[in-house]
Amino acid sequence: MKAETIFLLTGNKFSNAISAWASARAGEVVQVSDKLPDFFDRTDSLLIFNQNQELTPEIQEIKKAYDKQQKPVHKIDINGTLMVGISNLDLWVETNKCKKILVLGGEELAANLNLERYSNS
């Protein structure tokens, strides 16, 4: 996966945990405030990391906005099979021609040991 820009939320434990992963997969990594109203307009797709398919209410609201505008959304369950998750992610980015991706995940994911598997792959 090589995107033009990956957007991460500032001050989020999950974002801090995957910043090196994001840097390796994009030409630019931009930290944005979750209060910034235009991040939706600045991105063309949404990537959500989760555990056991659980999404926080905030992430569910953001996902609804992307769904409503028919922008591509992809979810990765970090407790799932690593190679399947990576392959599906690469296929999703390529198929949807994702260039400016907002990457979200709950702060609790930073404590999940499986996140390290993804960030090192």
Asked whether residue 38 carries a pLDDT value surpassing 80, the answer given is no
Domains of the chain: 3-119 (3.40.50.450)
pLDDT, tens digit, 9 for 90 and up, residues 76-120: 999 988 888 889 999 999 999 999 999 999 999 999 988 888 887
Tell me what pLDDT residue 80 has.
Answer: 86
Phi-psi region of 42 (alpha: psi -120 to 50; beta: other; left: phi over 0): alpha
pTM of the predicted protein model? 0.92
- Confidence category of residue 34, pLDDT binned at 50, 70, 90: low
Three-state DSSP at 76 gives strand
